Amino acid sequence: MINVDLLPALPLFAGLDEAQIARIAAVSFARNVEPGECLIREAEPTPPYFHVLLTGSVQVLKSAHSGKETTLRLLRPGEIFGWAALLDGGGAPATARAMTRSRILLIPYEALVGLMAEQPAFALRLITTLCERLRDLHEQLHAVVSERARTRLARLILRHQRRDGGSPTPLPHQVLSRMAGIAYEESVRIIGEWSHGPHPLLSYGRGGRITVLDPEALAALAEGLEPSVAKSGA
C-alpha cells in the first residue's frame, strides 16, 4: 500500500473523494527503476498495471525491423503510461524505458477500470489524455514527412519547453535525433550552430539540458522561417 497522500497530488486523481483515493492507494505500490531498465516491452503482453511516473524520466520508443529506435515521447512526472494495450487487449504498442533513476507508481488494472465505471469524469480524463497523445504523434509524423531537420528540431525543443513550463529540458542528442527522425551527427551540428555565435538561440548543457535564449528566433525556425544571420548566428 502506498501513502494515501500521494494520489491527490497527481493530476489523474484530482477531484476524487477520500474513499476512492483510499481504495486505489490500498492496492497500489511504487518501485524504483534504474537507467536503461525496461518497464514495458513492445509487442509483449503489458503488465496488468497502469503506470504513473512519479520521479525521473522515461522515454517511449518504437523499434523498426532493422533495430533502429524512434523516441515517440518523453514522459513527465505525473504522466500515466502502459495502459493502451490493457484496454484493447493487444501487445504493448511501444517500449517504455527509464532514462534516469525513476520511481513508478503501479495501479492494478481492475481498480482503475472499476473507478472509470463509477466516475465518468475520471474516464473522460483518461480519454482526453489519449487524445493529447494522438495529437502529438500526428504532429510528429507530419514533421518527419514534410519538414526540414532544422524545423523539426526547433518545434521539438519549443514543444518540450512549453510542456515543462519553460524549465531546462533534458533532451540529449540521442533522444533529439530519434524524435526528430534525423541522424545523430546532424542533431549535433544544428544544435552546435544554434548554441554558438554572437547571438545564440539556446544553450546546451550536460545531459542535454537545453535552455532557450531567443524564443522568437527559435519560433521563426519552428515555422520554417529563417531569422537573420546576424541574429541566429547560423
Q: How much is the pLDDT for 162?
A: 81
Nearest to 51 by CA among 69, 77, 26: 77
Phi, psi of 118 (to 5 degrees): -95, -10
C-alpha cell read off for 98: 527509464
Structural Rg of the chain based on CA atoms: 19
What's the pLDDT score for residue 228?
A: 56
Q: 31, 104 in Cβ contact below 8 A? A: yes
CA distances from 198 to 43, 193, 194, 234 (A): 48, 11, 10, 10
Q: What distance in Å separates the CA atoms of residue 222 and residue 148, rounded to the nearest whole number?
A: 10
* Residue 186 pLDDT: 93
The pLDDT tens digits of the residues spanning 71-91 come to: 888 898 888 898 877 877 778
**Other Cβ atoms closer than 10 A to 21:** 16
**In this predicted structure, what is the pLDDT of residue 229?**
42
Which portions of the chain are predicted below pLDDT 70? 143-146, 165-169, 226-234
Which pLDDT does position 40 carry in this prediction? 94
In whole angstroms, what is the distance from residue 190 CA to residue 156 CA? 13
Q: CB of 80 within 8 A of CB of 10?
A: no
Q: Give the Cα separation of 185 and 28 in Å (integer).
A: 43
Query: Residue ranges of the alpha helices (H) in the chain?
Result: 18-27, 84-88, 109-118, 120-146, 149-163, 173-180, 184-194, 215-222, 229-232
